[in-house]
């Protein structure tokens, strides 16, 4: 990308974000480079980088792509003196003293800063176990869950811990996107032998967001071989994805089944207690940064109740709140919170309708909407119908008779029966439990 294009995007951003936001947050950015779909910017402080990433990241990516640049991710770095003076070179920075470089590890993503609650306790326990090193008991460890639920955080925590306990181990962490980028580079530069050698010589391989390689056939193929070679050599592999192995689109069957061979654990959507716990632990960090600002328990509870999408959004809200209060020099009250976060709160407020549920469920089971609502009682239609009724009861505030009316005028006892049936099946049939989870997530997006 040329500086001209960035200058153009800057102009657009100034219009889109307003002069204040622009001069506070965007002007301090200095474009450094674009490689492998990742645009890197130099920032004066990490705080600015985080803030921009959380609040304006998507907008920046959108405008860059609109100008014809293919950018999928932004990266912010506080340059060292050397980097300011000369042009930055490698896109991939070494993560430690070892000779293999992966994606950079975030120093804040440790076990110490990971708040454990019911929704993530299993994933956390499994991650801890792997981080202890020792003989490989399950391979791979496959962590999955919706965005912003802590997959990357846990993986970085494992890497930090392993490096600390056993500095001699070669721990390689990288995103699936990086894996592909490096694979393609090796192909282009005719360095496949080096590539294979490199990946087969690690002791622990961690690949984040593996769903990314779905549909990318030659990358999948190479990933499969790397994977097998490492498993055969009894090396630990840790994988994350936004969904279960079987649900990843356009992923070869043999890879799916390989990924299921170890321990598959999911991070469930957060609950209120976990969100409050996370907010409390983040506040401690902010209190050090903004010694003059206080935030009451009431405001935290309000946020934990109202922002239930994911932890990233929750954190972003808190960052923004502190930054805003500090900029305008006001106390963090409930009113200020509502003012400052009105857009986030509105987005989290999104109510799911019975009609949306019916549409999603019929798409999921590949039946027609009319058959779901219609009178047919064959199992193929009846089961999805009951699932939709169950979700309608759970996710909307509609009463049983109201739900019945929306399902072709059925009686409320029919709805009640359907809801009960799914409750029973959920405990017995893991496929149904998974389907419900998947649908619920899709509906909440
Ligand atoms: P994912 O990779 O699942 O999309 P991340 O690991 O990037 O999510 O998490 C998003 C943000 O939320 C990160 O800043 C992370 O530190 C934070 N986060 C997620 N879960 C927790 C948790 N249990 N405790 C503390 N912070 C968390
Ligand atoms: Mg992640």
List, for residues 46-92, the tens digit of each pLDDT value.
778 888 888 888 889 888 988 888 888 999 988 775 454 333 333 33
Which ligand is located closest to the Cα atom of residue 103? 2
Counting ligand 1 atoms within 8 A of each CB, the residue from 311, 313, 315, 441 with the most, and so the one to mutate, is 311
Does residue 120 have its Cβ closer than 6 Å to ligand 1? yes
H/E stretch holding 360 reads helix 354-364
Say what the pLDDT of residue 321 is: 93
CATH classification number, 118-266, choose in 3.40.50.300, 1.20.58.1180, 3.30.930.10, 3.20.20.70: 3.40.50.300
Q: What is the 3 state secondary structure string of 258-316? A: HHCCCEEEEECCCCHHHHHHHHHHHHHHHHHHCCCCCECHHHHHHHHHHCCCCHHHHHH
**Residue ranges of the chain with pLDDT lower than 50?**
82, 84-98
The C-alpha atoms of residue 96 and residue 163 are separated, in whole angstroms, by: 9
CA 64-90-168 angle, to 5 degrees, is 130
Say what the pLDDT of residue 154 is: 98
Which protein residues have a CB closer than 5 Å to ligand 2 (ion)?
Answer: 151-152
Does residue 152 have its Cβ closer than 6 Å to ligand 1? yes
CATH topology of domain 354-444: Chromosomal Replication Initiator Protein Dnaa; Chain: A; (1.10.1750)
In ligand 1, the atom with minimum distance to the C-alpha of 311 is: 12
Say what the pLDDT of residue 86 is: 36
Does residue 384 have its Cβ closer than 6 Å to ligand 1? no
The DSSP-derived string for 147-206 is TTSSHHHHHHHHHHHHHHH-TTS-EEEEEHHHHHHHHHHHHHTT-HHHHHHHHHT-SEEE
Ligand 1, atom 21, residue with closest C-alpha: 150
Residue located via tokens 């769903």:
211
Does residue 109 have its Cβ closer than 6 Å to ligand 1? yes
Domain range annotation of the chain? 3-77, 118-266, 272-347, 354-444
Ligand 1, atom 13, residue with closest C-alpha: 312
Contact 150, 120 (CB under 8 A): yes
Say what the pLDDT of residue 214 is: 93
- Tell me whether residue 155 is exposed, middle or buried, using C-beta atoms within 10 angstroms of its C-beta: 0 to 12, 13 to 18, 19 or more: buried
CA 11-12-15 angle, to 5 degrees, is 90
Dihedral sign for Cα 351, 354, 355, 359, please: positive
The C-alpha atoms of residue 434 and residue 445 are separated, in whole angstroms, by: 17
Per residue in 328-370, pLDDT (tens digit) is 889 899 889 999 998 888 776 667 899 999 999 999 999 999 9
Ligand 1, atom 10, residue with closest C-alpha: 148
User: Which has the closest alpha carbon to 151: 68, 250, 267?
Assistant: 267
> What pTM was estimated for this model as a whole?
0.64
Counting ligand 1 atoms within 8 A of each CB, the residue from 125, 210, 312 with the most, and so the one to mutate, is 312
The token pair at 434 is 């998974």
Does residue 153 have its Cβ closer than 6 Å to ligand 1? yes
Say what the pLDDT of residue 70 is: 87
The C-alpha atoms of residue 210 and residue 223 are separated, in whole angstroms, by: 10
Cα of 150 vs centre of ligand 2, distance in Å, is 7
Does the domain made of 272-347 have the CATH classification 1.10.1740.10? no
Cα of 390 vs centre of ligand 2, distance in Å, is 31
Does the domain made of 3-77 have the CATH classification 3.30.300.180? yes
381: alpha, beta or left? (left if phi > 0; alpha if psi -120 to 50): alpha
In ligand 1, the atom with minimum distance to the C-alpha of 208 is: 2
Counting ligand 1 atoms within 8 A of each CB, the residue from 113, 148, 177, 316 with the most, and so the one to mutate, is 148
- Topology match between the domains 272-347 and 354-444: no
């Amino acid at each position: 990308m040329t500086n001209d294009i960035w200058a153009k995007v800057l102009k657009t951003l100034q219009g889109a974000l307003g002069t204040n936001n622009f001069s506070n947050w965007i002007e301090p950015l200095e474009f450094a480079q674009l490689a492998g779909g990742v645009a890197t910017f130099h920032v004066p402080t990490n705080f600015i980088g985080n803030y921009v990433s959380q609040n304006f990241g998507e907008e920046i990516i959108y405008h860059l792509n609109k100008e014809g640049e293919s950018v999928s991710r932004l990266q912010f770095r506080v340059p060292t003196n050397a980097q300011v003076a000369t042009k930055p070179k490698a896109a991939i920075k070494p993560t430690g003293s070892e000779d293999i470089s992966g994606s950079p590890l975030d120093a804040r993503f440790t076990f110490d800063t990971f708040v454990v609650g019911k929704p993530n306790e299993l994933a956390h326990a499994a991650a801890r176990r792997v981080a202890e090193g020792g003989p490989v008991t399950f391979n791979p460890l496959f962590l999955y869950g919706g965005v912003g639920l802590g997959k990357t955080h846990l993986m970085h925590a494992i890497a930090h811990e392993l490096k600390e306990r056993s500095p001699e181990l070669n721990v390689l962490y990288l995103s699936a996107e990086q894996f592909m980028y490096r694979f393609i580079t090796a192909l282009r530069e005719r360095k496949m032998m080096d590539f294979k050698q490199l990946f087969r010589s690690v002791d622990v391989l961690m690949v984040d967001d593996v769903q990314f390689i779905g549909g990318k056939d030659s990358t999948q193929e190479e990933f499969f071989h790397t994977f097998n070679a490492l498993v055969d050599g009894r090396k630990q592999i840790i994988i994350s994805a936004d969904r279960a192995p079987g649900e990843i689109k356009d992923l070869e069957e043999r890879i799916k089944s390989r990924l299921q061979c170890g321990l598959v654990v999911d991070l469930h959507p957060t609950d209120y207690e976990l969100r409050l716990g996370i907010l409390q632990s983040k506040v401690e960090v902010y209190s050090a940064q903004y010694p003059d600002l206080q935030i009451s328990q009431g405001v935290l509870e309000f946020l934990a109740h109202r922002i239930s999408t994911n932890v990233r959004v929750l954190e972003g809200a808190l960052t923004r709140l502190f930054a805003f209060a500090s900029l305008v020099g006001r106390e963090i009250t409930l009113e200020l919170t509502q003012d400052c976060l009105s857009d986030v709160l509105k987005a989290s407020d999104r109510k799911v309708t019975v009609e949306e549920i019916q549409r999603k469920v019929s798409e999921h089971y590949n039946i027609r909407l009319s058959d779901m609502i219609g009178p047919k009682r064959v199992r193929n239609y009846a089961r999805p119908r009951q699932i939709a009724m169950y979700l309608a009861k759970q996710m909307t505030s509609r009463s049983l008779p109201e739900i019945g009316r929306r399902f072709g005028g059925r009686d409320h006892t029919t709805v009640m029966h359907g809801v009960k049936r799914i409750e029973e099946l959920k405990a017995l049939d893991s496929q149904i439990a998974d389907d419900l989870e998947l649908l619920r997530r899709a509906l909440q997006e």
